[in-house]
Amino acid sequence: MREKQLWGLLFALVFMSYGTVAHAGWNFGIGTGPQLLNVSGDMGFDTALGAVDIDVDLDPDDLADVTESAIGLGGYATDGKWVIQFVVGKL
């Protein structure tokens, strides 16, 4: 339920703000597309015996094996001098 509320708020903010800044020369874009993800770094967690650190290195094929689906959306707003970008995703 909370996810639907966040998506609704995001769309409301984008469309409500369009009318207020459209006259200021702002341009907007929104979209989605294919993307590959890789993960590299350290992962850690605490146990009763102490902290555990694990090196993680997953390429896109490895991640595709352990995920069911993903969805994402990105966008931007610019006036030629300033750029505001956002990316929202769920894995």
Express each pLDDT in 20-74 by its tens digit: 555 568 889 988 777 778 888 988 888 888 888 989 898 888 888 888 877 888 8
Cβ neighbours of 35 (radius 10 Å) = 11
Q: What is the band of 85 on the pLDDT scale with cuts at 50, 70, 90?
A: very high
Report pLDDT for 43: 86
**Rounded to two decimals, what is the model's pTM?**
0.46
Tell me if 75 sits within 8 A of 29, measured CB to CB.
yes
